[in-house]
Structure 1
Amino acid sequence: MAGHPREKVIPDEVHQNQILRELYHKELRTQKLYTQYHVNPLRKIHTITRKPMSWHDNLEEPADARFLNLIHHTAQGPKKKYPETQTENQEVGWDLEPLVNPERHDRRLNHFRICSDITLYKAKTWGLGDDRHK
């Protein structure tokens, strides 16, 4: 009779309490309370480094000149470290000085007041107060 569904049996409070009590006792049997702690002998121990900014840790050590020179060298820009570009991206912006002197009064590069047909037309429409062409 595979077609008949089984009725779902809802346990009463006594059976639920008994199930929870058994579960609680099983958990208590498997738990261990550790009160003594020790270092695992199979695990590698790492030493704790000192704080770099503490003044009492740095008193006994002299400054390493080679390390300081290395730090200062890496802090410099790439243009001070290398005579030429090292990557393709460094080529953009490597030479910062302009090729032509950017003087404002040089008429070859600066065309400030050039009047053409379009600029004259727009100036006249603005002078008339026509708001259609804004």
Structure 2
Amino acid sequence: ADKRAQSQTTKQPNDNMAEKEKPSVVAQDAIHIERIKKEEKLLKQHTKFHINPFRKLHILPDKPMSRRPPEEVSENSDFIKELHRAYLVPKKKYSTPQTESQEIGWESSPLVNKTKQGFSFNIYSKLSTLHFYF
């Protein structure tokens, strides 16, 4: 019977916990700062971002309706050169294709010149009525 009485007394809530007051604003701030320091310690980035200095950066052209003051444009001739370069087609801009899609149409000139002397490339078919339907 004594063991039951002791176990019941230990299970009762502690009166000291009910009387415990909330920490002051200063104490809450200190707890908050400590928590932030712990999180920053755990979330520390091990890699640093940097731009590759060997990669060419492209200047994007301005919006069509935006205007620059004439003084600013005339002073900065490098800006004008880069702006004209931005409007060039890729074949004039680069010496080699930059993507797989550009490789397909990069060489647009015919590989073999067509001459009338070469019989194998100048086979002309005669027009017939079937050509109009197929």
TM-score, L = length of structure 1: 0.38
TM-score, L = length of structure 2: 0.38
Larger RCO of the pair (alpha carbons < 8 Å, separation 6+): 2
**Structure whose CA Rg is larger:** 1
Structure with the higher helix share, 1 or 2? 2
